[in-house]
Amino acid sequence: MTDTHAIPDSAIDRIFGPIIQRQTWLNVAYLLLSFPLGVAYFVVLTTLICTGFATLAVYGGFFVLLAALAVARMFGNLDRILANGFLDASIPAPAVQPRSGNVFRRLGALLGSPATWKRLIYLYVRFALGLCSLILVCVLIPLSLGLLTLPLTYQLVPINVGMRQVETFDEAIFFCCFGAIFLLLSVHVLNGWTAMCRRFAQRMLTSR
């Protein structure tokens, strides 16, 4: 008779498993995408919102602000799709907004919706999150791989670790072992950071 109960992960699986899990590297890809997307969100929305307020006196500003909110909704949907695809966030699609009424009523309805402000706050915070994500990935992963490959590279390229240059194979092996530990820690740090970003996206992009 086959036991159908799921076997719980062991401590070894929880510690070493993330290095070879597909989800870890999907997380890394998501973090790398975060910075260019965050910059795009910040630049486009800031330009539209500032232009809208600057032209309110000639009434064209209402249309620009309405366009800014429509673009924010589009960006929010894009980020929701990415979070669902890369992180399995399971964020539901927002409710379809009614198109009845003139532009002023539609703008008022959007401004009165808490989901609109949550989305805008999220898209602006996304810039800072993207910058932090880029720094984490571009520091932790290359440093880990650099230490891991020292036995192969220390004779080809002068490499300093701290104030000391690696000159012997024994030193290279020592720092390679340290690199393996550092890579393991880096993977857990990146997964933890991604989990925080995932929870933030779920909270801010859910229309309720």
Per-domain boundaries in the chain: 22-92+99-205
DSSP letter (8 states) at residue 2: -
**pLDDT tens for each residue of 143-165:** 898 888 888 887 777 777 777 77
Residue with tokens 């973090």: 31
Output the pLDDT for position 101.
58
User: Cβ neighbours of residue 172 under 8 Å, at least 6 residues apart?
Assistant: 150, 151, 154, 166
Q: How many H-runs (helices) and E-runs (strands) does the chain carry? A: 7, 2
- For residue 164, give the H/E element and its range: strand 164-165
Which tokens belong to 79? 């980020």
**pLDDT tens for each residue of 14-29:** 777 788 889 999 999 9
pLDDT exceeds 90 at position 206: no
Give one DSSP letter per residue of 60-95, joined into a string. HHHHHHHHHHHHHHHHHHHHHHHHHHHH---PPPPP
**pLDDT tens for each residue of 37-84:** 999 999 999 999 999 888 887 777 778 888 898 899 999 999 999 999
Q: For residue 160, give the 3-state DSSP assignment.
A: strand
Count of other CB atoms within 10 angstroms of residue 187: 24
Q: 58: exposed, middle or buried (C-beta count within 10 Å: 0-12, 13-18, 19+)? A: exposed
Which tokens belong to 73? 């909704």
Which tokens belong to 52? 């809208």
pTM beyond 0.75, yes or no: yes
Q: What is the mean pLDDT of residues 1-7?
A: 44
**pLDDT tens for each residue of 183-199:** 999 999 999 999 999 99
Pairwise pLDDT comparison (95 vs 165), residue with the higher score: 165
Give me the percent of the chain exceeding a pLDDT of 70.
Answer: 85
